[in-house]
């Protein structure tokens, strides 16, 4: 049986399973393309359980596409705080502004129009078009790739872009009329049953009798994932500078990693106390007390930060930094997750 025939056979069981077992999620209550769009962007590389609080907070503050188009960037980034990948939030606003200007505030209704918007790639365009408008287009994410790889017993590396493209083309040829339910069913099956790590829950899978990996006991070795990139490791010393109950922060550069977000002052390397005092002098600061505040590691897609933090009481401020009340760190300024542990240590 060809891969295409196998994939065609799973459409009805997946749709039936999804309709009977789908979770009640806020963006599923109505086919609102704005809600679906926000949820899909948030769910990229983040599990549903972790997204819920962010999604609710975001929609409480920006309930309409018009609100998103007009929001100030600082508020937008604060609402996105904790999700990472802050350019996704910026692209949401850019796309919302285009929709306001070009489409009269109504989300485009076709895949071809959606995929042209900033931050909306092939997967997100497919998800919105199929779920909101039932357009018969695939939405292939990591969960879908895993299910399809196991069903077809594919030995192709799912981390290779060409593998995703090949399976997208195959799914395009077998898309059923209930395209939205089929896409959501594949995604949910991958997240809840056809698990990425450990043993998949095959006894509850609606397509196990069709799945070649299940039949040949290959579920724990598929899909193939051959990562070719190694993360660069960087050491950093983070300064929690305190002056008159205010904490120093600074804005990162406009381009690059964590662009335009706020951070605690930091320098490269794991510094000694003498080196810390030297750095403070270059900032025209005199330390009254230096206390180690712990270690933290943060992993980005291409780099890993190994950080050590120091809480430093200083006798004067430095206008090169922004000195803010501790409560403002929680309510106003978007501090990236890389520095979240150090912020928590201040309270």
Please give the positions annotated as active site.
40
Could you tell me if 93 and 66 are in contact, meaning their C-beta atoms sit under 8 angstroms apart?
A: no
Tokens of 266: 């930091």
Rounded CA gap, 87 and 259, in Å?
A: 8
Rounded CA gap, 199 and 276, in Å?
A: 48
Tokens of 236: 């950093």
Give the C-alpha distances (Å, rounded to integers) separating 5 from 9, 10, 151, 157.
Answer: 6, 9, 11, 21
Closest by alpha carbon to 221, among 173, 271, 155?
A: 155
Rounded CA gap, 299 and 36, in Å?
A: 28
Peptide bond into 67 cis (omega under 30): no
The position carrying tokens 């790739």 is 145
The position carrying tokens 């295409």 is 4
Closest by alpha carbon to 339, among 236, 231, 234?
A: 236
Rounded CA gap, 281 and 279, in Å?
A: 5
CA 9, distance to chain mean position in Å, is 32
């Amino acid at each position: 049986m060809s891969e295409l025939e196998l994939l065609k056979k799973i459409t009805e069981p997946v749709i039936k399973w999804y309709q009977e077992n789908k979770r009640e999620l806020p963006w599923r209550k109505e086919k609102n393309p704005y809600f679906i769009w926000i949820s899909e962007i948030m769910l990229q590389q983040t599990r549903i359980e972790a997204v819920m609080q962010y999604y609710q907070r975001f929609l409480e503050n920006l309930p309409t596409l018009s609100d998103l188009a007009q929001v100030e960037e600082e508020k937008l980034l604060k609402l996105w705080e904790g999700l990472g990948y802050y350019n996704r939030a910026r692209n949401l606003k850019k796309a919302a502004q285009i929709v306001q200007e070009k489409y009269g505030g109504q989300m485009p209704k076709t895949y071809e129009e959606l995929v042209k918007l900033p931050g909306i790639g092939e997967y997100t365009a497919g998800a919105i078009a199929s779920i909101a408008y039932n357009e018969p287009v695939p939405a292939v994410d990591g969960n879908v790739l895993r299910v399809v790889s196991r069903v077809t017993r594919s030995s192709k590396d799912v981390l290779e872009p060409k593998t995703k493209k090949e399976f997208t083309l195959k799914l395009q040829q077998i898309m059923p009329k209930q395209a939205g339910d089929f896409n959501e069913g594949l995604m949910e099956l991958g997240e809840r049953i056809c698990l990425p790590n450990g043993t998949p829950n095959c006894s509850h899978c609606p397509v196990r009798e069709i799945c070649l990996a299940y039949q040949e006991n290959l579920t724990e070795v598929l899909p193939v994932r051959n990562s070719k990139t190694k993360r660069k490791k960087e050491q950093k010393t983070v300064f929690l500078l305190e002056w008159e109950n205010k904490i120093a922060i600074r804005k990162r550069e406009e381009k690059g990693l964590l662009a335009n977000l706020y951070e605690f002052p930091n320098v490269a390397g794991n510094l000694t106390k003498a080196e810390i005092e030297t750095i403070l002098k270059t900032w025209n600061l005199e330390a009254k007390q230096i206390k180690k505040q712990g270690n933290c590691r943060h992993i980005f897609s291409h780099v890993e930060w190994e950080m050590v933090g120091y809480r430093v009481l200083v006798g004067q401020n430095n206008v090169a930094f922004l000195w803010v009340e501790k409560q403002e760190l929680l309510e106003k300024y978007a501090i990236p997750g890389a520095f979240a542990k150090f912020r928590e240590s201040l309270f």
